[in-house]
Amino acid sequence: MIGARTARLVIEPMAHAHAEELVAAITDPAPGERPAWPEPATVESTHARIEHLARGLGDDGARWFNFVMRRADDGVLIGRLEASTHGAWGEIAYVLGPRHQRLGFAREGVRWLLDSLRAAGVTELWACIAPANASSIRLVAALGFVPADPAARPLGSYEPGDAVFRTPSRKQGPVSADPQGREQVDDAAEAEAVEPGVVEGAVGSTQATSARWIAAPERSVAPNT
């Protein structure tokens, strides 16, 4: 897959050159909030993480895609997108810095990622989310994911107790994952124009909001999107 531009985002394959901006975006709290990284993030650890992602998953046929998101209007890096794929199925995750949440960026970026993966033939997509992360649960529900059994696939991002979702099969229509009908997050991106791309060679989700790190030793969880 290559990078792309959506209505409000520039999406680039992640590289070492992004390390300092990533740390700044994800550890910068919104006013009155504390950073929610589970441990201090540094430029050095981020470089090590990018190097780890560049080596891939190691399984036959498995692929790992990682991107950063920038605001198109000013070029500020605001978060990242991530996917691991195994043939026609895969897992997704995302990270969004605290100052950039609840503005529609997460939905816009994740929708681009889903469209790009589907264009590349990855039609069954999964997301594992900490139960307390209500905003991310609402986000994947708004994008058509439905509750699913984690035992159906060897999910690298799953931890016991996670809320697990997948894109519906052709015989199954979208089902709301939020029966209380709470307000969906990121409504500002409802009508964005998305340019799906086939991603090749991209290396490889915190208030910073995150679904999960995918198939990796470290895992981060956050309550908000």
Closest CA to 205 of 100, 79, 89: 79
pLDDT at residue 70 tops 90: yes
What pLDDT score was predicted for residue 27? 81
- Section 76-85 average pLDDT: 94
| pTM: predicted TM-score of the whole model, two decimal places | 0.74
- Section 24-28 average pLDDT: 83
What pLDDT score was predicted for residue 42? 85
- Kindly state whether residue 32 falls inside one of the protein's structural domains: yes
Q: How many CA atoms lie within 13 A of 13 on its CB side?
A: 15
pLDDT digits 0-9 by tens, 124-156: 999 999 998 898 999 999 999 999 999 999 999
Q: Is the distance from CB of 69 to CB of 109 less than 8 angstroms?
A: yes
DSSP state of 176: -
- Kindly state whether residue 49 falls inside one of the protein's structural domains: yes
Kindly state the tokens that stand for 53.
């992602």
- Kindly state whether residue 216 falls inside one of the protein's structural domains: no
- Kindly state whether residue 218 falls inside one of the protein's structural domains: no
Measured CA to CA, the distance from residue 94 to residue 100 in angstroms comes to 13
DSSP state of 135: H
What pLDDT score was predicted for residue 184? 34
pLDDT digits 0-9 by tens, 159-186: 999 999 999 865 444 433 333 332 233 3
For 161, the domain range is 4-210
- Kindly state whether residue 203 falls inside one of the protein's structural domains: yes
- Kindly state whether residue 99 falls inside one of the protein's structural domains: yes
* Residue 77: pLDDT band with limits 50, 70, 90: very high
- Kindly state whether residue 225 falls inside one of the protein's structural domains: no
What pLDDT score was predicted for residue 204? 34
Kindly state the tokens that stand for 127.
């997301």
- CATH number for the domain including 27? 3.40.630.30
pLDDT digits 0-9 by tens, 95-110: 898 889 889 999 999 9
pLDDT digits 0-9 by tens, 27-44: 876 654 444 444 447 898
- Kindly state whether residue 59 falls inside one of the protein's structural domains: yes
- Section 53-65 average pLDDT: 74
**Cα dihedral sign, 74-80-84-85:** negative
pLDDT at residue 10 tops 50: yes
pLDDT at residue 60 tops 50: yes
- CA distance readout (Å), 182 to 63, 116, 165, 166, 186: 35, 28, 18, 20, 13
Tally of domains in the chain: 1
pLDDT at residue 224 tops 50: no
